[in-house]
Amino acid sequence: MSAYDAAALKDLLASEALKFGEFTLASGKTASYYLDCRNLTLHPKGANLVAAGMLAQMEANGPLPQAVGGMAIGADPITASIITLAGQRDLPLRGFMVRKEAKGHGTGRQVEGPVQPGQKVVIVEDVITSGGSALKAVDAAREFGLEVVGVIAIIDRLAGGAEAFAARGLELQTLFTVRDFGIEPE
């Protein structure tokens, strides 16, 4: 499966990741719904559909970046799925991961993977609320010397993330927003 089927991904996201109830978000705010996209990105069909959707968006934006990656652990399955699909299509796209902090041994790097300063990269993420996690990845990638050319996420909660990226000179692209599921931003 390598073609992007937005309808199939939307159905899977609704059945596997979208939960209703009372939830506390990472920001400390409460919400009437929760998007556990790990249930989607670690699902065999979901991983393929997410990768196909994000790869299609990157291809539509012009030349592919040299690498994709994001904050460990959430972005790791997305990155792995995208580079696997890229490899099957013989595209020279690599992956990287951003640690929460530089490790204290080995190379001591915060950005891990086959990337070099100066390369153009896209940050990937599952859910965007305020954008905090992906913004940390952007900052670490830039500090490493990578040129961040965009951010792509599965879904935007429409809670200020796009504006936070715009303030850093980046456009947020997503496969969906909560409005696609009949949910108004909280």
Annotated binding site for orotate: 129, 157
Residue 49 tokens read as 């559909």
∠ Cα 57 126 122 (to 5°): 45
Q: Over the range 96-115, which residues count as b (16 or more CB within 10 Å of their CB) and which as e?
A: bbbeeeeeeeeeeebbbbeb
Spatial separation of the C-alpha atoms in residues 98 and 126, rounded to whole Å: 15
Q: Binding site: which residues?
A: 99-100, 103, 105, 125-133, 157
Q: Binding site for 5-phospho-alpha-D-ribose 1-diphosphate: which residues?
A: 99-100, 103, 105, 125-133
∠ Cα 76 41 89 (to 5°): 75
